[in-house]
Amino acid sequence: MEITSKLRAIAESFLKDESYFIVDVISKGVSGRAKHLILLDGDNGVNIDDCASLSRQIAAEVEAEDLIEGAFILEVSSPGLDHPLASKRQFVKNVGRSLKVRLKDGTMLQGKLESVDDEAVEILKEVKEKKKVVTEKTAILFDSIDKANVLVSFN
Tens-level pLDDT at each residue, the chain (155 residues): 688 999 999 999 999 889 999 999 999 987 678 899 999 999 988 999 999 999 999 999 999 998 888 888 999 999 988 899 988 999 999 999 999 999 999 999 999 999 999 999 999 998 888 888 888 999 999 999 999 999 987 76
Inter-helix orientation angle 48-65/3-13, to 10°: 120
What is the C-alpha to C-alpha distance for residues 60 and 80, in angstroms, rounded to an integer? 25
Question: Residues 96, 135: one domain?
Answer: yes
The answer to the question of residue 82 being in a domain is no
Nearest to 81, CA basis, from 20, 154, 152: 152
Q: What's the pLDDT score for residue 80?
A: 85
CATH code for the domain in which residue 55 is found: 3.30.300.70
Question: Residues 62, 125: one domain?
Answer: no
The answer to the question of residue 93 being in a domain is yes
Q: What's the pLDDT score for residue 88?
A: 92
CATH code for the domain in which residue 104 is found: 2.30.30.100
The answer to the question of residue 121 being in a domain is yes
Domain that includes residue 38, residue range = 3-77
The answer to the question of residue 83 being in a domain is no
Q: What's the pLDDT score for residue 1?
A: 61
The answer to the question of residue 61 being in a domain is yes
The answer to the question of residue 34 being in a domain is yes
Question: Do residues 101 and 110 touch, judged by C-beta distance below 8 A?
Answer: yes
Question: Residues 119, 142: one domain?
Answer: yes
Question: Do residues 20 and 4 touch, judged by C-beta distance below 8 A?
Answer: no
The answer to the question of residue 155 being in a domain is no
